[in-house]
Structure 1
């Protein structure tokens, strides 16, 4: 009889957290000019007319006409108050209503995200279909081929896939448009560029859930009872999807918010590009509207994902019939060790060479005995830059994963009720926008980029921990402990944490290449390491103009990301 009150309090608490997160995000975005020490009126004036002088009277007129506030707090709170009544304000640059200016870009980005999600789902299921059939017969886990293929896809930078598709399919073959958004013909290439790497991540999440599901007693019972292979496979997939569903929702919201680079390469007027242009022009009403829309979509989809998770599990969640179990270590230790040894050997060989020696007479030379991996546009040895760049890329990625693991475990395991909140709001923030905010505070650099990636990297781990913790708390042995008088803290330390920590550790390992890709994407936009740095993202950005004449310059940093992805991919996937 007392259940409605705790439920109401929990719902109220979740609503307060969600609204507080949106408010804090709006305040942070509204503080961008002040964080960077800029006068927004100057930036708006330059965006309107680069030829006008920065006269104090002109700047005062710009502030008055555009409605630029005197401080970020009053500006953000005023914008939120108007937005609550449906008024998203007017653009500081064009003066047009923001709601009208972002309606079409939002539709374009949603269309692109849905198309990319379809590509992602189809490719992931194609990768896992053979393993599902084999699992239904013998209970064997996901095969090494599927794990390796998924890891390689996940290690592909989206901007590299987009550049390759643009160059080969659109330019050389001429079978798809190179830019714009005028019809269905403009959809496939950017959808593939976003969907293929996401399919790798999705296959890793699903493969881990499948492996863990196969260890549950009911699967052995079904096989022993002679259930049809198709029925067993469908039940295993349903159980795996139930576990992975909150992660799938995060993946879709991430596709919606992370297409900025792909939109820029294909000149697509989507929401990400609109937000990026508005940030550069410090057109804050447009930025705030874009971020608020992404945050609200993230909240709605996050809540829907958690409800669907409970719905798929059905009575087992309520009756204490779940028996969650974690999978063991790698099924393919020799292959994982071989790939790790190859990566280590390349790094060590590169560390023994000088990465900064310039030889213009040897620029863009193919691999040779003197330069085993070739040279870049300044004649620098790519093997040397590969080795020294690994310390930056892999080291920063490992540090990000460690911090994200700690934050995700702290936030996810402590949640006793599955409610959408701060994680879903922050997940909707594009990493590029987080990078711009970090650059505004600390200036462009690897530390700021790593901070920006870390600000969103903990979210998938927190959602994963929350999902696993909810299942553990619904298990029969936890209910028995609670009936014997065990308190919340004891249950957390003795039952929840030991059950969820191993899969979360593996999940954090899988995220290392993903974090490296996020750093590479920020480096591609000039928001991470300097352009002359050996960091792999900066190397990729500098080599892309020479992709046709010197493909090895692009292949070397891409090889590092691929090997890093394989090392994690050949270990047992996360549940």
Structure 2
């Protein structure tokens, strides 16, 4: 009870600190909010001292930031979040309307993500074996830029084919295309994480006994899915909050009045009442989602967690074959090697948007610059920055994941702040610079890894072999070093590598919104942002950097051991077959479920 109250108090303090920090942001950044509000209201009006003084008097800026913050907090119990500094309208109705729009979009995007994850895990659910190409497929889907996918869907499906509406928000039909742009990458990540857990569930004693008794494979697959869900629920909760407040680029492309876009516009205009209200709503949504996911996890495996009666889902995997490593690595190396001798800044206005040719294998951009040269020269910066951010996020996520009582509220609070808003806050605090987007992405990239680590550790501590090891006198350090970390680090590392292209895409999204790398930098994200308006006329200008990002994701997953395994079981392990002699290198977990009757009879 005390720990629950302490966690709740810690969560309230973090949320209050975040909201109050946003309310004091203009004074921390030494900017004049009256000038920013004037530019947002009327960009053509001259900022004379009289005009600025009038705005300060209207907004009450002369009373100081603490007085404004106190008045705003005092109105919250009455449901009054003040009035917008830009439009003068009441804040709460507009924020709640934007929240409803984002929640509907998030719900449809989760359906799309669930369907994508189900397709990626279909073979594993059917056979109990990981799909040989699931890792590569999930990496390619996870590397899809949301704003690029949104632009292609809006242009091709919405405008050219006319199958679905492309712009605006007038009904359920307008949710399909933006939900697909958001759901495909999210479903790829969830599908890869689920595919990492399912083989361990199928190898547990209950699954082996069920197969030996001849129970329908659908029933076993359904129970295996239920067994793996608790380890994914924290990340699903993070996706709920992230899709609600972090889909800024997609909302910009489809002109959706969602909460992310509303918060971004308020942040750019320093409309503090709207910005504070939007952030507060996201923090409350994160708290509710976290409570719901914990309750669902307790309903699924609560008694087993209490009694320490679980089996470990993480078993040693066979050695990874090097075929896919070689294909992905060689292709990426060849692209970089062929492009480095070329000049990425050479302009040729007579060769604008040329198609791929022997002289320009990847075509040219809108200024006639060689795309192969820009991709190759941007690879060093992009790869180095993405790897550094991913490494820092992995280390931070694992360390904080070991302290769930401390990190749980921090994860929820950090995840409630969109990366775009973090970039704006970092820019206001430290100024604009090339490292500002990296700091913003690093500040939020560790949260999913910490949630994943905490969820896996919670289940791993309740396993039977850990209970036996603890009973034999093993201390906490021995348990952590020799039992817990070896079981948790491999899947969390694969998770981090799967998000490696997403880190580059987060930087690309900031560039797409004008907060990332600036021209003429050949950074991959900036290449996507620069050439996105020409996707219809010159698709190669966006397909080339997008394909390299997908190749990077596939290489990362293959290096982590996903998608490069060659299973030693037959293609149809559910069909009963004649027993054969097993070699010494084959473990029980390597055998198909159809052979478990003999194994169960010998145990």
Q: Distance in 1 between matches of 2:562 and 2:223?
A: 19
Q: Which runs of 5+ in 2 are unaligned?
A: 564-603
Q: Distance in 1 between matches of 2:307 and 2:322?
A: 38
Q: In the alignment, which residue of structure 2 is the partner of 1:88?
A: 81
Q: In the alignment, which residue of structure 2 is the partner of 1:103?
A: 96
Quick check: 2:112–2:180 contact (8 Å CA) kept in 1? Answer: yes
Quick check: 2:494–2:557 contact (8 Å CA) kept in 1? Answer: no
Q: 1:89 to 1:325 in 2, by over 3 A?
A: same
Q: In the alignment, which residue of structure 2 is the partner of 1:526?
A: 514
Q: Distance in 1 between matches of 2:189 and 2:269?
A: 34
Q: In the alignment, which residue of structure 2 is the partner of 1:5?
A: none
Q: In the alignment, which residue of structure 2 is the partner of 1:4?
A: none
Choose from 349, 357, 364 the match for 1:360: 349
Deviations 1:6-56 (A, max 9, x none): xx2211221122112212211332243234432001111222333443233
Q: Distance in 1 between matches of 2:260 and 2:319?
A: 38
Q: Which moved more, 1:392-401 or 1:285-294?
A: 392-401
Q: Root-mean-square deviation (CA), in Å?
A: 2.3
Deviations 1:341-397 (A, max 9, x none): 211221222223221122222222222222211111222111111111111222111
Q: In the alignment, which residue of structure 2 is the partner of 1:277?
A: 265
1:425 and 2:413 aligned: yes
Counterparts of residues 238-253 of structure 1 (less than 5 Å): 238-253=226-241
Q: In the alignment, which residue of structure 2 is the partner of 1:182?
A: 170
Quick check: 2:134–2:562 contact (8 Å CA) kept in 1? Answer: no
1:374 and 2:367 aligned: no
SS at match of 2:499: helix
SS at match of 1:506: helix
Counterparts of residues 454-469 of structure 1 (less than 5 Å): 454-469=442-457
1:125 and 2:114 aligned: no
Counterparts of residues 38-77 of structure 1 (less than 5 Å): 38-68=31-61, 72=65, 75-76=68-69
Choose from 379, 395, 414 the match for 1:406: 395
Counterparts of residues 8-407 of structure 1 (less than 5 Å): 8-68=1-61, 72=65, 75-76=68-69, 78-135=71-128, 140=129, 142-327=130-315, 328=317, 333-407=322-396
1:552 and 2:540 aligned: yes
Q: Which moved more, 1:215-224 or 1:457-466?
A: 215-224
Q: In the alignment, which residue of structure 1 is the partner of 2:598?
A: none
Q: Which moved more, 1:254-263 or 1:316-325?
A: 316-325
**Count of aligned residue pairs for this structure pair:** 561
1:567 and 2:555 aligned: yes
TM-score (norm 2): 0.88
Q: Distance in 2 between matches of 1:371 and 1:52?
A: 48
Quick check: 2:397–2:446 contact (8 Å CA) kept in 1? Answer: yes
CA apart distance, 1:163: 0.4
Q: Which moved more, 1:554-563 or 1:55-64?
A: 55-64
CA apart distance, 1:284: 0.7
Q: 1:34 to 1:263 in 2, by over 3 A?
A: same
1:479 and 2:441 aligned: no
CA apart distance, 1:440: 2.3
SS at match of 1:421: helix
Q: Tell which structure's C-alpha radius of gyration is larger.
A: 2
Q: Distance in 2 between matches of 1:50 and 1:356?
A: 34
Q: Distance in 2 between matches of 1:495 and 1:420?
A: 23
Deviations 1:210-261 (A, max 9, x none): 1332344443343334332122111111112222111111112211112111
Q: Distance in 1 between matches of 2:117 and 2:487?
A: 27
SS at match of 1:372: coil
Q: Distance in 2 between matches of 1:221 and 1:389?
A: 54
TM-score (norm 1): 0.92
Deviations 1:184-225 (A, max 9, x none): 221111111111221111211211121332344443343334
Q: Distance in 2 between matches of 1:388 and 1:72?
A: 46
Quick check: 1:123–1:196 contact (8 Å CA) kept in 2? Answer: yes
Quick check: 2:263–2:274 contact (8 Å CA) kept in 1? Answer: yes
CA apart distance, 1:71: 5.4
Q: Distance in 1 between matches of 2:465 and 2:407?
A: 24
Q: Distance in 2 between matches of 1:240 and 1:471?
A: 10
Quick check: 2:197–2:314 contact (8 Å CA) kept in 1? Answer: no
Quick check: 2:414–2:444 contact (8 Å CA) kept in 1? Answer: yes
Quick check: 1:66–1:91 contact (8 Å CA) kept in 2? Answer: no
Q: Distance in 1 between matches of 2:321 and 2:370?
A: 34
Quick check: 1:204–1:569 contact (8 Å CA) kept in 2? Answer: no
Q: In the alignment, which residue of structure 2 is the partner of 1:3?
A: none
Runs of at least 4 residues off by over 4 Å: 69-78, 329-332, 417-420, 480-490
Q: Distance in 2 between matches of 1:296 and 1:69?
A: 31
Quick check: 1:207–1:573 contact (8 Å CA) kept in 2? Answer: no
Quick check: 1:14–1:419 contact (8 Å CA) kept in 2? Answer: no
Quick check: 1:376–1:553 contact (8 Å CA) kept in 2? Answer: yes
Q: 1:68 to 1:482 in 2, by over 3 A?
A: farther
SS at match of 1:375: coil
